[in-house]
């Protein structure tokens, strides 16, 4: 089981542990996303900040589709139904479910400060979903909770725990303890997110100032929700600076 669950990601080139077919993850995300929006009301479409989030989201969506098309991998985006919503909560966070279901919290906007920095965050979160990082985290959680049972059986036997694992994998709740992204996953999302933002027409260099603002936001107190699973430190910023010349190549294409 462990052997067959390890698959090579066509974009990152890294072998990852995934028990759950992406089609099942996308199907589950449709249910969980709608449930979330019923409990956390999104701001209306005419709100200026909602318009901003949807504008950035559409540009990143097109960038992702172009990136995959150029590599002959458009079939890997099959089943995606992109959606971008802004939720009015004082939480410094954003996330993306499989299939392109994205939520940004209003508490993040004072730190992003501008459209380009918002694109860095949304590109980063979309990259996590595109790279299957949530699938990896949920698969690891299922291995611990259920001994590797397939999703359909786990849902039948313990639906509440299975749904909680899904929510944990995508940063929606904290009921089972944080399922943290690994250093490799963070690095992949940082790099892919910069590329997606750059292809969307945003200068990737703004990422440095944004992550520095995020690091200061903690101020020695409890860190923002985003930093509980998205570590921001000197090594990360150095890695971003090192990758910046590559990311800027995509920005110059615009």
Helix (H) and strand (E) counts for the chain? Answer: 12, 5
Asked whether 102 and 94 are in contact (CB, 8 A), the reply is: yes
Annotated catalytic sites, by residue? 125
Asked whether 213 and 144 are in contact (CB, 8 A), the reply is: no
Rounded to two decimals, the pTM is: 0.81
Q: Work out the mean pLDDT of the chain and round it to a whole number.
A: 80
CB atoms under 10 Å from CB of 235, counted, come to: 11
pLDDT tens per residue across span 194-235: 999 999 999 999 999 999 998 887 554 445 555 545 555 678
Q: Which residues pair with 94 in a beta bridge?
A: 104
Q: What is the pLDDT of residue 145?
A: 58
Q: What is the pLDDT of residue 173?
A: 55
pLDDT tens per residue across span 164-185: 666 666 666 544 344 456 677 8
Q: How many residues can be counted in the chain? A: 254
């Amino acid at each position: 089981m462990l052997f067959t669950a390890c698959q090579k990601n066509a974009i990152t080139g890294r072998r990852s542990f995934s028990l759950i077919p992406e089609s099942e993850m996308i199907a589950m995300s449709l249910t969980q996303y709608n449930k979330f929006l019923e409990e956390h009301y999104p701001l209306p479409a005419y709100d200026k900040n909602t318009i901003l989030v949807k504008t950035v989201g559409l540009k990143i969506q097109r960038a992702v589709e172009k990136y995959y098309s150029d590599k002959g991998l458009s079939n890997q985006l099959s089943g995606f139904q992109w959606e971008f919503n802004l939720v009015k909560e004082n939480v410094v966070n954003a996330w993306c479910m499989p299939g392109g279901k994205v939520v940004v919290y209003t508490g993040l906007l004072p730190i992003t400060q501008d459209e380009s920095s918002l694109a860095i965050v949304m590109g980063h979160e979309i990259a996590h979903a595109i790279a299957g990082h949530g699938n990896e985290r949920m698969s690891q959680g299922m291995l611990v909770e259920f001994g590797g049972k397939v999703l359909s059986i786990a849902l039948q036997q313990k639906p509440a725990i299975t749904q909680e694992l899904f929510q944990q994998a995508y940063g929606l709740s904290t009921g089972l303890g944080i399922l943290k992204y690994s250093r490799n996953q963070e690095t992949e999302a940082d790099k892919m997110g910069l590329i997606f933002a750059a292809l969307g027409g945003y200068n990737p260099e703004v990422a440095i100032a944004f992550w520095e603002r995020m690091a200061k936001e903690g101020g020695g107190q409890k860190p923002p929700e985003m930093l509980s699973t998205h570590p921001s430190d000197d090594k990360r910023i150095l890695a971003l600076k090192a990758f910046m010349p590559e990311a800027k190549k995509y920005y110059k294409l615009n």
